């Protein structure tokens, strides 16, 4: 994929897409690897860690899997469809063995973790299965697989954050980069497989985060997105820190609000975004920090999942409808211009028409600018799979999803219409998809805006003031303010 990953990669539409890395100087490496990524931004960020580990071990990247010695697929388990997409793609990638009988195929990420060695029985031509906390062992696993043995490492870790590894940016636009700030998840949303595939939550050393952001800035990047499944529960305690990472005794603990500020101070020209916020953990402290720094984008992805308190309870989201609505009101009170988006699941176990209407009405209350919407897909091993019956017929799940999508389109359009005539500071990301006579960029609120280049000497990575003159459901259209 990616022109840009839109900060949360779990949309159904994006799951089929993947990217291959740029080609390094081929003479610098004696072997070639090819990697494709599926799922959320964290998986894409992990692939950049993997690329770095492989580069260190003599593998250069290629965009053609046919010429690779090592073909990797970084996988997602979030919904059944995500896993189907990966399996289908694997049958394609397996053809590499026709061109190069010694080539190895490795499965990384959440599906590797969920299925473990079972994967090797199901997909005979796979040589390696490597879970998200085991990427440092890739060189050893490759050596093992080269001798003809199947290689597996799916151990989850309590402290691995890959803090010291400098990611190799894959297919980036050179303007915005992802920075992983934590791994795993300690929440137990009953529908969700992530706690099983990613393990316990752990926070990365803030000094290494700030350094990575500063390096990106010095390399011309103008936007970082801090990534975690639940960024608001970021918490780093100095005791856990080793002297080599630059921290020392007497340092205070670092909360997410503290971290946001540290990153905002890297440079006023560096925009800061983050994803994802769990409504139960986002604090006033975070909201005030956002309000205080112009370069922290006024945009929050705040997944609601359902608007019904009863369903939220079954989902184990730990907030009620009213509590969520009050949180939205609080955000708008502190930052009236804040953009808001959500994730929504339709047809969760026992969901009634009334529950569904509650979801529709909470969407209207929240006035989301955008949402990622899914119908419920039961995942083996989750709390919901063990406790509740997946009792909503597929046609009902899909009809409700359809209604939610239609409502979101109307809300997005309304939100864009409200921007007509306003002027926004836009960070240019590159040419618009349609024409190289137009730029594409984003507002602080994360809305995509397209506008003619005209006679101005601008480039990607530059900021420009743009007045909104028109819009569609998904995009603002503007004109540079001279």
- Residue ranges binding ligand SF4 (CB under 6 A): 185, 187, 189, 192, 194-195, 229-230, 278
Is 213 annotated to bind a ligand? Reply is no
Of the pair 194, 287, the CB lying nearest ligand F3S is at 194
Is 349 annotated to bind a ligand? Reply is no
Contact residues for 98 (Cβ-Cβ < 8 A; gap 6+): none
Of the pair 302, 468, the CB lying nearest ligand SAH is at 302
Is 192 annotated to bind a ligand? Reply is yes
- Residue whose C-alpha is closest to residue 388's, from 311, 320, 288, 273: 311
Residue 43 binds which one of ligand SAH, ligand SF4, ligand F3S, none, with CB within 5 to 8 A depending on kind? ligand F3S
Query: What's the rounded Cα separation, in Å, for the pair 117 and 113?
Result: 9
- Residue whose C-alpha is closest to residue 297's, from 208, 226, 368, 233: 226
Of the pair 49, 194, the CB lying nearest ligand F3S is at 194
What six digits make up the tokens of 462?
């530059």
Q: Give the strand pairing for 202-203 and 182-183.
A: antiparallel
Of the pair 69, 133, the CB lying nearest ligand SAH is at 133
Residue 191 Cβ vs ligand SF4, minimum distance, rounded to whole Å: 7
What six digits make up the tokens of 119?
């994967």
- Residue whose C-alpha is closest to residue 185's, from 130, 148, 245, 233: 233
Contact residues for 410 (Cβ-Cβ < 8 A; gap 6+): none
Of the pair 301, 356, the CB lying nearest ligand SF4 is at 301
The answer to whether 404 touches 449, Cβ cutoff 8 Å, is no
Residue 79 within binding range of ligand SAH, rule CB under 6 A: yes
Query: What's the rounded Cα separation, in Å, for the pair 410 and 472?
Result: 11
- Number of amino acids touching ligand F3S (CB under 6 A): 14
Of all residues in the shown chain, the one whose CB is closest to ligand F3S is 39
Query: What's the rounded Cα separation, in Å, for the pair 430 and 26?
Result: 27
Residue 397 Cβ vs ligand F3S, minimum distance, rounded to whole Å: 19
Q: Is the peptide bond before 276 cis (omega within 30 degrees of 0)?
A: yes
> Which listed residue (52, 197, 366, 382) binds ligand F3S by CB under 6 A?
197
Of the pair 109, 206, the CB lying nearest ligand F3S is at 109
| Interhelix angle 353-366/321-334, nearest 10 degrees | 10
Q: Which span (250-258, 282-290, 361-369, 374-382) binds ligand SAH, by CB under 6 A?
A: 374-382
Site string for ligand SAH, 2-41 (x = CB under 6 A): --------x-------------------------------
- Residue whose C-alpha is closest to residue 370's, from 476, 461, 289: 476
Q: Which residues are annotated as a binding site for [4Fe-4S] cluster?
A: 40, 76, 110, 185, 189, 192
> Which residues lie near ligand SAH (CB under 6 A)?
10, 78-79, 191-192, 194, 229-230, 276, 278, 303, 305, 343, 345, 374, 376-377, 379
> Which residues lie near ligand F3S (CB under 6 A)?
10, 39-40, 42-43, 76-78, 109-110, 193-194, 197-198
């Amino acid at each position: 994929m990616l022109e840009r990953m839109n900060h949360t990669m779990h949309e159904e539409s994006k799951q089929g897409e993947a990217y291959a890395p740029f080609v390094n100087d081929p003479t610098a490496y004696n072997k070639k690897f090819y990697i494709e990524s599926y799922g959320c931004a964290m998986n894409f960020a992990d692939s950049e860690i993997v690329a770095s580990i492989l580069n260190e071990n003599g593998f250069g990247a290629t965009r053609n899997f046919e010429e690779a010695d090592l073909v990797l697929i970084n996988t997602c388990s979030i919904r059944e469809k995500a896993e189907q997409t990966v399996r289908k793609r694997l049958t394609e990638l397996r053809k590499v063995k026709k061109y190069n009988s010694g080539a190895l195929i490795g499965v990384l990420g959440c599906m590797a973790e969920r299925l473990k060695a079972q994967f090797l029985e199901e997909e005979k031509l796979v040589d390696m299965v490597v879970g998200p906390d085991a990427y440092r062992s890739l060189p050893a696993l490759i050596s093992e697989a080269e001798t003809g043995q199947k290689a597996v490492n799916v151990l989850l870790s309590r402290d691995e954050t890959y803090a010291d590894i400098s990611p190799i940016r894959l297919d980036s636009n050179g303007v915005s980069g992802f920075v992983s700030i934590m791994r795993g998840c300690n929440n137990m949303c009953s529908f969700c497989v992530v706690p099983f595939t990613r393990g316990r939550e752990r926070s990365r050393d803030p000094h290494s985060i700030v350094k990575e952001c500063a390096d990106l800035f010095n390399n011309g990047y103008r936007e970082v997105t801090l990534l975690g499944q639940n960024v608001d529960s970021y918490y780093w305690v100095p005791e856990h820190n080793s002297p080599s990472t630059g921290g020392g005794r007497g340092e205070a603990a670092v909360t997410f609000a503290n971290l946001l500020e540290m990153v905002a101070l890297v440079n006023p020209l560096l925009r800061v975004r983050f994803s994802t916020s769990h409504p139960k953990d986002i604090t006033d402290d975070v909201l005030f920090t956002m309000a205080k720094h112009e370069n922290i984008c006024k945009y929050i992805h705040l997944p609601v999942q359902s608007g019904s308190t009863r369903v939220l309870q079954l989902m184990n989201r730990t907030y009620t409808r009213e509590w969520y609505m009050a949180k939205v009101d609080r955000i708008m009170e502190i930052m009236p211009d804040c953009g808001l988006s959500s994730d929504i699941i339709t047809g969760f176990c026992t969901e009634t028409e009334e529950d569904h209407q509650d979801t529709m009405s909470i969407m209207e209350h929240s006035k989301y600018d955008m949402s990622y919407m899914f119908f419920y897909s039961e995942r083996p091993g989750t709390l919901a799979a063990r406790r509740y019956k997946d009792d909503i017929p597929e046609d009902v799940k899909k009809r409700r999803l359809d209604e939610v999508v239609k409502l979101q389109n109307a809300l997005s359009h309304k939100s864009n219409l409200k921007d007509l005539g306003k002027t926004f500071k836009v960070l240019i990301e590159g040419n618009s998809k349609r024409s190289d006579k137009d730029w594409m960029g984003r507002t602080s609120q994360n809305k995509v805006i397209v506008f003619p280049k005209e006679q101005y000497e601008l480039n990607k990575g530059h900021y420009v003031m743009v007045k909104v003159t028109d819009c569609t459901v998904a995009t603002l259209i503007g004109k540079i303010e001279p």
